[in-house]
Amino acid sequence: MENPPRLYSGLMEVLGQHGQWRDVRHLHTLVWMVVGLIHSGCVSLTAWVPFVRGRARYAQSTQRRFARWLQNPRVEVHPLYAPLSQTALAEWGQHRVYLALDTSMLWNQYCIIRISLVYRGRAVPLVWEVLEHGSSSVAYEAYAALLEAVPPLLPPGGKTLPHQPKNEAQYRRCAT
Protein backbone atom coordinates (compact mmCIF):
# COMPACT_ATOMS: atom_id res chain seq x y z
CA MET A 1 0.00 0.00 0.00
CA GLU A 2 1.41 3.36 -0.97
CA ASN A 3 1.42 6.26 1.47
CA PRO A 4 -1.14 5.07 4.04
CA PRO A 5 -3.10 7.73 5.95
CA ARG A 6 -1.55 9.01 9.17
CA LEU A 7 -4.37 7.64 11.31
CA TYR A 8 -3.88 4.17 9.80
CA SER A 9 -0.13 4.28 10.45
CA GLY A 10 -0.57 5.45 14.02
CA LEU A 11 -3.15 2.78 14.78
CA MET A 12 -0.95 0.09 13.22
CA GLU A 13 1.87 1.14 15.53
CA VAL A 14 -0.29 1.18 18.66
CA LEU A 15 -2.40 -1.92 17.98
CA GLY A 16 0.47 -3.94 16.57
CA GLN A 17 2.91 -3.43 19.42
CA HIS A 18 1.63 -6.22 21.65
CA GLY A 19 2.29 -9.07 19.21
CA GLN A 20 -0.89 -10.96 20.12
CA TRP A 21 -1.92 -11.40 16.49
CA ARG A 22 -2.18 -14.91 15.08
CA ASP A 23 -2.36 -13.46 11.58
CA VAL A 24 -1.19 -9.94 10.66
CA ARG A 25 -4.12 -9.64 8.24
CA HIS A 26 -6.43 -9.60 11.27
CA LEU A 27 -4.54 -6.54 12.53
CA HIS A 28 -4.82 -4.75 9.17
CA THR A 29 -8.57 -5.39 9.02
CA LEU A 30 -9.09 -4.16 12.58
CA VAL A 31 -7.11 -0.99 11.90
CA TRP A 32 -9.20 -0.21 8.80
CA MET A 33 -12.36 -0.84 10.81
CA VAL A 34 -11.21 1.60 13.51
CA VAL A 35 -10.26 4.19 10.85
CA GLY A 36 -13.75 3.84 9.34
CA LEU A 37 -15.40 4.06 12.75
CA ILE A 38 -13.51 7.22 13.69
CA HIS A 39 -14.08 8.98 10.37
CA SER A 40 -17.73 7.97 9.90
CA GLY A 41 -18.72 8.44 13.52
CA CYS A 42 -21.16 5.55 13.40
CA VAL A 43 -21.23 1.82 14.01
CA SER A 44 -22.10 0.62 10.53
CA LEU A 45 -19.89 -1.54 8.35
CA THR A 46 -21.16 0.11 5.18
CA ALA A 47 -20.38 3.60 6.55
CA TRP A 48 -16.74 2.60 7.10
CA VAL A 49 -16.10 1.46 3.52
CA PRO A 50 -15.38 4.91 1.95
CA PHE A 51 -12.49 5.43 4.38
CA VAL A 52 -10.69 2.16 3.55
CA ARG A 53 -7.86 1.85 1.07
CA GLY A 54 -7.35 -1.58 -0.41
CA ARG A 55 -7.50 -3.81 -3.44
CA ALA A 56 -11.22 -4.55 -3.21
CA ARG A 57 -13.06 -3.31 -6.28
CA TYR A 58 -16.53 -3.33 -4.74
CA ALA A 59 -17.70 -1.83 -1.46
CA GLN A 60 -19.53 -5.06 -0.70
CA SER A 61 -16.22 -6.94 -0.67
CA THR A 62 -14.83 -4.68 2.04
CA GLN A 63 -18.03 -4.93 4.02
CA ARG A 64 -17.91 -8.75 3.83
CA ARG A 65 -14.27 -8.65 4.98
CA PHE A 66 -15.30 -6.68 8.09
CA ALA A 67 -18.23 -9.03 8.78
CA ARG A 68 -15.96 -12.09 8.48
CA TRP A 69 -13.46 -10.50 10.90
CA LEU A 70 -16.20 -9.86 13.46
CA GLN A 71 -17.36 -13.50 13.22
CA ASN A 72 -13.87 -15.05 13.16
CA PRO A 73 -13.44 -17.46 16.10
CA ARG A 74 -9.63 -17.17 15.80
CA VAL A 75 -9.76 -13.50 16.80
CA GLU A 76 -9.83 -13.45 20.60
CA VAL A 77 -10.87 -10.02 21.85
CA HIS A 78 -9.88 -10.10 25.52
CA PRO A 79 -6.17 -10.94 25.03
CA LEU A 80 -5.98 -8.10 22.48
CA TYR A 81 -8.00 -5.58 24.47
CA ALA A 82 -6.32 -6.05 27.88
CA PRO A 83 -2.87 -4.68 26.88
CA LEU A 84 -4.54 -1.67 25.25
CA SER A 85 -6.51 -0.94 28.42
CA GLN A 86 -3.40 -1.33 30.57
CA THR A 87 -1.38 0.98 28.32
CA ALA A 88 -4.12 3.62 28.29
CA LEU A 89 -4.52 3.50 32.07
CA ALA A 90 -0.80 3.31 32.93
CA GLU A 91 -0.42 7.10 32.99
CA TRP A 92 -3.32 7.63 35.40
CA GLY A 93 -1.14 6.86 38.42
CA GLN A 94 -2.83 7.93 41.65
CA HIS A 95 -5.85 9.58 40.02
CA ARG A 96 -9.23 8.31 41.16
CA VAL A 97 -10.83 5.80 38.81
CA TYR A 98 -14.59 5.36 38.64
CA LEU A 99 -16.07 2.12 37.41
CA ALA A 100 -19.63 1.30 36.38
CA LEU A 101 -21.37 -2.06 36.22
CA ASP A 102 -24.03 -2.06 33.53
CA THR A 103 -26.32 -4.53 31.81
CA SER A 104 -28.09 -4.15 28.47
CA MET A 105 -30.54 -6.38 26.65
CA LEU A 106 -30.41 -7.30 22.97
CA TRP A 107 -33.54 -8.64 21.30
CA ASN A 108 -34.97 -9.61 24.72
CA GLN A 109 -32.73 -12.67 24.57
CA TYR A 110 -29.12 -11.67 25.26
CA CYS A 111 -27.79 -9.74 28.22
CA ILE A 112 -24.51 -7.85 27.95
CA ILE A 113 -22.79 -7.35 31.29
CA ARG A 114 -20.09 -4.64 31.22
CA ILE A 115 -17.73 -3.13 33.71
CA SER A 116 -16.62 0.21 32.30
CA LEU A 117 -14.30 3.02 33.20
CA VAL A 118 -16.19 6.29 33.51
CA TYR A 119 -14.23 9.00 31.70
CA ARG A 120 -15.55 12.46 30.79
CA GLY A 121 -19.14 11.32 31.06
CA ARG A 122 -18.59 8.26 28.88
CA ALA A 123 -18.31 4.59 29.77
CA VAL A 124 -15.26 2.88 28.26
CA PRO A 125 -15.70 -0.91 28.56
CA LEU A 126 -12.94 -2.77 30.37
CA VAL A 127 -14.48 -6.25 30.54
CA TRP A 128 -17.77 -7.67 29.31
CA GLU A 129 -19.69 -10.85 28.75
CA VAL A 130 -22.76 -11.74 26.73
CA LEU A 131 -25.20 -14.22 28.23
CA GLU A 132 -28.31 -15.79 26.81
CA HIS A 133 -30.61 -14.47 29.51
CA GLY A 134 -34.18 -13.19 29.47
CA SER A 135 -33.60 -10.22 31.78
CA SER A 136 -31.10 -7.45 32.45
CA SER A 137 -31.20 -8.37 36.15
CA VAL A 138 -28.43 -10.87 36.75
CA ALA A 139 -27.21 -12.68 39.83
CA TYR A 140 -23.83 -11.91 41.39
CA GLU A 141 -22.51 -15.26 40.13
CA ALA A 142 -23.06 -14.07 36.54
CA TYR A 143 -20.65 -11.14 36.90
CA ALA A 144 -18.30 -12.29 39.69
CA ALA A 145 -15.63 -13.36 37.16
CA LEU A 146 -15.80 -9.92 35.51
CA LEU A 147 -15.15 -8.24 38.86
CA GLU A 148 -12.04 -10.39 39.31
CA ALA A 149 -10.79 -9.54 35.81
CA VAL A 150 -10.80 -5.76 36.41
CA PRO A 151 -7.99 -5.19 38.99
CA PRO A 152 -5.15 -6.37 36.68
CA LEU A 153 -6.31 -3.79 34.12
CA LEU A 154 -6.23 -0.86 36.57
CA PRO A 155 -3.14 1.28 37.19
CA PRO A 156 -0.83 0.00 39.92
CA GLY A 157 -0.86 1.85 43.21
CA GLY A 158 -4.55 2.59 43.25
CA LYS A 159 -6.73 1.96 46.29
CA THR A 160 -8.31 -1.47 46.39
CA LEU A 161 -10.89 -3.15 48.55
CA PRO A 162 -9.43 -4.60 51.76
CA HIS A 163 -10.52 -8.12 50.80
CA GLN A 164 -12.16 -10.00 47.98
CA PRO A 165 -15.94 -10.33 48.49
CA LYS A 166 -17.35 -13.84 48.45
CA ASN A 167 -20.91 -12.91 47.53
CA GLU A 168 -23.04 -9.99 46.36
CA ALA A 169 -24.00 -8.79 49.87
CA GLN A 170 -20.37 -8.75 50.96
CA TYR A 171 -19.38 -6.92 47.75
CA ARG A 172 -21.98 -4.22 48.40
CA ARG A 173 -20.64 -3.73 51.95
CA CYS A 174 -17.09 -3.33 50.58
CA ALA A 175 -18.10 -0.92 47.84
CA THR A 176 -19.91 1.51 50.16
**Domain check: are 53 and 85 in the same one?**
no
**Domain check: are 94 and 156 in the same one?**
yes
Sequence-separated contacts (24+) of 15-22 with Cβ below 8 Å: 15/80, 15/84, 18/80, 18/83, 18/84, 20/79, 20/80, 20/83, 21/80, 22/74, 22/75
At 93, the pLDDT band (50, 70, 90 cuts) reads low
Residue 18: φ, ψ to 5°: -90, -10
Could you read off the pLDDT of 31-53 as tens digits, one per residue? 898 888 888 888 788 889 988 88
Is 157 a member of any domain? yes
Query: What's the domain count of the chain?
Result: 2
**Domain check: are 165 and 100 in the same one?**
yes
Is 23 a member of any domain? yes
**Domain check: are 104 and 165 in the same one?**
yes
Is 97 a member of any domain? yes
Query: pTM for the whole thing?
Result: 0.60
pLDDT for the residue 139: 85
Could you read off the pLDDT of 94-133 as tens digits, one per residue? 677 788 888 888 888 888 889 888 877 788 888 888 888 8
Residue range of the domain that includes 95: 79-175
At 74, the pLDDT band (50, 70, 90 cuts) reads confident
Please check whether residue 48 is in contact with residue 61, taking contact to mean a CB–CB distance below 8 angstroms: no
